[in-house]
Every structure is written in C-alpha cells, then in structure tokens.
Amino acid sequence: MELVLSEYHQKRWEEFKLFADSELDRGGQFPHENLKKAGERGYMGLPIPQAWGGKGEDFLTYILMLEEVSRVCASTGVILSVHTSVATFPLLYFGSDEQKNRFLPDLASGKLLGAFALTEAGAGSDAAALAATATIVAGGYLLNGSKMFITGGGEADLFTVFATLDRSLGSKGITAFLVEKGCPGLVAGPPERKMGLNRSHTAEIRMEDLFIPASNRLGDEKAGFNIAMALLDGGRIGIAAQGLGLARAALEFTIKHLKKQERAGIKTGQWSAFVVADLAAKAEAARLLIYKAAKAKDSRSSCTREASMAKVFATDLAMDAATKCLDLCHSAGCGENNPLNRYFCDAKAPQIYEGSNQIQRIVVARELLRQFNLS
C-alpha cells in the first residue's frame, strides 16, 4: 500500500496548515468562529459526497484537515471529528433518502452541528450496557434516560442517540435515533469543567418522555449497536489525527524553545536531543498508521484493526510528547496560559474518549485472534 501523500494530498495538506495557522483562534469559549470559518471552506462536510452538499473529498484528505486544526486548537478538532465521523456519517451510511435530504446538506455546510450520544454514567467502555430506554408508542418512540460526556452537547443541533428497546437483549436491543435540538423532553446540561479541551463544551443530555417520530429512527430497530461500532471505526482515525496534531504542537513548541536557549548560549544537552529525536520518529510512525487506517477506510474494506492501532499509538504519543516536552521546557511551558500547558491538559481525553486506549487494545487483540487460523 502506498503510504506517502500524492501531489494532490500534499497540496491540500499545505492549505489546511495555512488555514489552521492563519484563521483559527486558540482560546476562549465554544469555538463558534472557528467552526464558521471551517464551514465556509467546506470543512464541515469534507468527506460527504457533493450530491449531499459536501465536498466529496476522500477520508485521507479529511484526516489531514483534522490533524492541522487539532495542532492549533484540539477542541475545534474534536468537535469537527465528532460532527463528521459519528454525527454526519450515520446519515450517509444508514439514513433513508428522506432523512438524508432533511439533514445532510445542512450538516455538510455547517449550518447544523452534529453530536453523538452513546456514553452513559454506567455505560462507557461497556457500551452495550446502556440503560436509556426507547418505548414504542403510536407514531414513534418515547426516549428516557441520560447521556454523559457529549462533545458539543449544549451546542449541537442534531444528536445520534442510542437507546434500548429491551435491555435484557444487551447489544441486540439497541436502536439509533436522530434527535433534534429543541424537542420537548430534551435537556442539555451546562458544559462540564474538565482538565482540558474546555472549548468543546462536553455536557450531559437528559431525555424525559422525549417523543421521536418513527421517521427519525436511524436504521432498523435493534441494529443500533452495530451502527455505533461501525461509526466509531472512522471516528477513531479522526481522534488519532487529533493526537498527532497535539504531539506535533508540543514538539514544535519545544524545538523552538531549545533553539532560543541555544541562541542565548544555554547548553541544551544530549538528553534533549534524544527526547526530540524519539518523539519526531514516533510522530512519523503515527502518521503512517493513520494514513494506512484512512486508506483502509477509503477502500471500504473494514478498518477496525487499523483504526484502533492508530488511535492507541497517536493518542498515547500525544500524552507522552506533552509530558516529555514539559520535562524539557520546565518553567517555560507550565504557566497557566502557556500553549504547552494546554497541550498537556488536552492530550489526556483523547486517550479516553471514542473508546479508551485499553478498549482499543482489546479490539486489536480480538481482530488478531480472529484472523489467526490454527488449523
């Protein structure tokens, strides 16, 4: 498989770098302005076919955009990733034509922001244990329950929500629904106070006798778990790109700091060289894993193993890079408003969300065992 970028991808990557460096702001509240600018350039629907209002780019191009956006603002990165991979793709892959017509063009243009509501207080890693219920009523369903840690929860316009028709069936009882902001019975909590990614406005959403018409059920009844898993494969490649963007940001900050020290006549020592060299090599390795996963996704073969490998490697690298770069930069990196401090705080959640890195290792091991034939 060819892993270097084509001339076209290289050109797009340069454009994304320029966009991220010159257009995006890095601090403050929910990044409405960043998302508006992304929407104006078509980045809210980059891999969505033109027929549905997107740019019709491949998944690799979208991943290049996420890496660059995340290098500058990882909160904007995760919002874009969730919006596209697990909130817009559900419609593209599993929506009826009527649902696609109703939502896809507005999601792809950025007029609507999408979110993904799977996680609950008692169902994080074990997603099949979710307790939110869907009850069949005349004309549709009543949803009840609560969803936790929803990226963009208080800001999103359309949620892909997972609820069970029969909890005793485990993963086989789960159904997916399209839930629109403003529906009576849908309540979004305030943004959680987190250690990092504070602009992504993670929030709880509660559903209290929330009526959903049958026309807003996504896919078949009780097919929701497989839908969630299939979506998360793509989502995890986006989070891997976010990790790589963060790792690069920490490394670039540190290299600039070391150069300034050298210029000031302060010896940086061999240890610094070893750290920087190792991190740079690992960033290249992460890049290859991510490109391989994105190309597997583009070729429409299953990308489960590649996505999980890329997610583990790149997000563990982000945390490792931020930690080691802080060790190297000391006081030059740990001030409250220092970018390196932000990269360190932002790097933790990507190891946890879209399936913790422990879960990713289980997914990879299962895939390997499945492929290994003993006969």
34 binds ligand CAA (CB under 6 A): no
- The residue from 65, 113, 186, 232 that contacts ligand CAA (CB under 6 A) is 232
Which residue of 99, 109, 144, 226 would you call a contact of ligand CAA, by CB under 6 A?
A: 226
Residues in the chain: 375
Q: Could you tell me the CA-to-CA distances from 45 to 41, 50, 53, 81, 104 in Å, in that order?
A: 9, 9, 8, 11, 9
Rounded to the nearest whole angstrom, what is the least distance from the CB of residue 14 to ligand CAA in the complex? 28
Angle at which helix 32-40 crosses helix 7-23, to 10 degrees, equals 140
Nearer Cβ to ligand CAA, position 42 or 235? 235
Question: Which residues, 6 or more positions from 17, have their beta carbon under 8 angstroms from its beta carbon?
Answer: 68
Q: In what helix (H) or strand (E) does residue 60 lie, and over which residues does it extend?
A: helix 59-72
Interface with ligand CAA, residue 229, by CB under 6 A: yes
Q: How far is CA 100 from CA 90, 94, 104, 286, 373, in A?
A: 10, 9, 5, 34, 41
- Amino acid identity, position 316: D
Q: Does 355 bind ligand CAA (CB under 6 A)?
A: yes
- Please tell me the distance from the alpha carbon of residue 145 to that of residue 208, in angstroms, as a whole number: 7
Task: Write the binding mask 256 to 295 for ligand CAA: x where contact by CB under 6 A, - elsewhere.
Answer: ----------------------------------------
Selected from 76, 304, 315, 351, the binder of ligand CAA by CB under 6 A is: 304
Considering beta carbons, is residue 174 or 329 the nearer one to ligand CAA? 174
CB of 156 to ligand CAA, least distance (A): 10
Nearest distance in Å: CB 327, ligand CAA: 28
Near ligand CAA by CB under 6 A, which window of 53-61, 105-113, 221-229, 334-342?
221-229
> Please, what is the minimum distance in Å from the beta carbon of residue 232 to ligand CAA?
5
Cβ(35)–Cβ(79) below 8 Å:
yes
Does residue 133 contact residue 167 with C-beta atoms inside 8 Å?
A: yes
- Candidates 32-40, 48-56, 290-298, 352-360; binding stretch for ligand CAA (CB under 6 A): 352-360
| C-alpha span between 214 and 177 (Å, rounded) | 9
CA distance 171 to 224: 8
Stretch that binds ligand CAA, among 67-75, 90-98, 117-125, 254-262 (CB under 6 A): 117-125
User: By CB under 6 A, which span of 24-32, 156-164, 222-230, 314-322 interacts with ligand CAA?
Assistant: 222-230
- Work out which of 80, 82, 158, 203 binds ligand CAA, going by CB under 6 A: 82
SS3 call for 217: strand
Q: Which of 57, 120, 204, 354 is catalytic?
A: 354
Tokens of 288: 């290859």
- Which of the stretches 159-167, 210-218, 229-237, 335-343 binds ligand CAA when contact is defined by CB under 6 A? 229-237
Minimum CB separation from ligand CAA for residue 287, in Å? Answer: 21
- C-alpha 92/C-alpha 181 separation (Å) is 20
Residue 76: both structure tokens together: 């904007």
Buried b (16+ CB within 10 A) or exposed e, 34-73: bbebbbeebbbbbbbeeebbbbbbbbbbbbbbbbbbbbbb
Taking the complex as a whole, the smallest distance from the CB of residue 297 to ligand CAA amounts, in Å, to: 12
**How far apart are CB 59 and ligand CAA at their closest, in Å?**
16
CA 8 – CA 45 distance, rounded (Å): 18
Return the H-helix or E-strand segment holding 129. none
Rule CB under 6 A: is residue 233 a binding residue for ligand CAA?
yes
351 vs 28: CA distance, rounded Å = 23
The yes or no reply on residue 188 touching ligand CAA (CB under 6 A) is: no
Q: Does the annotation mark 354 as catalytic?
A: yes
Least distance (Å) between residue 258 CB and ligand CAA: 33
**Which window, 118-126, 137-145, 179-187, 283-291, contacts ligand CAA (CB under 6 A)?**
118-126
User: Which of the residues are catalytic?
Assistant: 354
Question: Which residues sit at the interface with ligand CAA, rule CB under 6 A?
Answer: 78, 82, 116, 118-119, 125-128, 151, 171, 225-226, 229-230, 232-233, 304, 353-355, 359, 363
